[in-house]
A = this chain, B = another copy of it.
Amino acid sequence: MAKSLLALGSRHQRRLYSSTSKLTHHGIHVLQCPDQVGIVARISDCLSGHGANITSTDIFVDMDSRDEPVFNSRCQFSFNPVQWTREEMENSFQEIGKQFVGKSVVNVPGMDRDMKVAVFASLQDHCLVNLLHRWQDGMLPVQIECVISNHVRGEDTHIWRFLKRHGIPYHYLPTTKTNKREDDILELVSGTDFLVLARYMQILSGDFIARYGKDIINIHHGLLPSFKGANPYRQAYEAGVKLIGATTHFVCEELDAGPIIEQMVERVSHRDTLESFAMKSESLERQCLDRAIKYYCEQRILRYGRDKTKTIVFA
């Protein structure tokens, strides 16, 4: 590994390096629309017409939907912002979206602002800690607006110190059976682009999900659709499974039933205890949530299928 790359310990260094090392910029375009002949031609004409160059493309036409095939694409391209300004680019892709009656999104990492996220966690903090460290290492291109928890954390905890050092607020919102503090939460997260539930053990209501209106990513400590709800470790342990797993998914109103983004497993045996199930699972949860957030920020995830209950992951 080149020394210059690996030497970059801090978030700022790594970022700096990325932006100064290239004269051209790299954009990502994602399109989802009803399929028809000529979509790819239209996109690639648009790009080549502005001197942009495709470096990678993924196209998936979903033939399986009840009604009509749906076109999905993710395209990475290099361009010169002098030749094609960010504003013109935005307009070009909005036109394409209109023409094909679909959703057309363009993003230029390093030029556009990072997505804003609020992270939720209850008592367990292995996913939260991992997420913060990954962010500190410059591996997660997000702006963390705040951490929200229904558990108090003292000034002597690693998390409290970490957040203070980085100027990230920690909101302690104790919940009761009748008050989930959803109004308070909504106010706190109103400026975010998406939410991450990093082992948040409170159930967000359908009303909350609808009012928030943007994506919510959850890590479930079981291999969905098995082991929904409470105590998936115990459920798996008592079922005598030989593989345990973790699942990252989008949150929908039905508990633990939203579109699956990523799943990972590890082998267990009769020698494993409930405690070692937890330890092995925690390692899976960290990796599984980490990967899902990274994919999400890189615009790699699209919902598809009937009622959009499945995900395309252009990995």
Contacts and interface: CB of A to CB of B under 8 A. Distances in A.
Interface string A228-269: 000101100001111101000000000000011111110001
B275 A5 contact: yes
Contact of A313 (B54, B55, B259, B270): B270
B270 A243 contact: no
A285 to B, nearest CB: 12
Residue with the greatest number of chain B CB neighbours at <10 A, chosen from A133, A157, A158: A158
Interface stretch (A58-66, A88-96, A112-120, A187-195): A58-66
Given A270-B304, A274-B2, A240 B223 contact: no
Interface residues of A, number: 85
Interface stretch (A42-50, A142-150, A206-214): A42-50
A2 B279 CA distance: 13
Count of this chain's copies in the oligomeric assembly: 4
Contacts of A58: 57-58
Given A40-B54, A269-B315, A313-B270, A125 B263 contact: no
Nearest to A129: B133
A287 interface: yes
Contacts of A53: 35-37, 61
A44 B52 contact: no
Interface string A117-158: 000000111100100010011010000000000000000011
A259 B242 CA distance: 10
B63 A55 contact: yes
A277 B39 CA distance: 29
Given A53-B35, A283-B287, A7 B48 contact: no
A245 B114 CA distance: 32
A169 interface: no
Nearest to A241: B260
11 contacts: A5-B278, A6-B278, A35-B53, A37-B48, A40-B57, A56-B60, A57-B58, A57-B73, A139-B279, A224-B241, A242-B263
Interface of A: 1-2, 5-7, 9, 35-41, 43-45, 47-48, 51-64, 73, 123-126, 129, 133, 136-137, 139, 157-158, 161, 223-227, 231, 233-234, 239-243, 245, 259-265, 269-271, 273-275, 277-279, 283, 287, 304-305, 309-313, 315
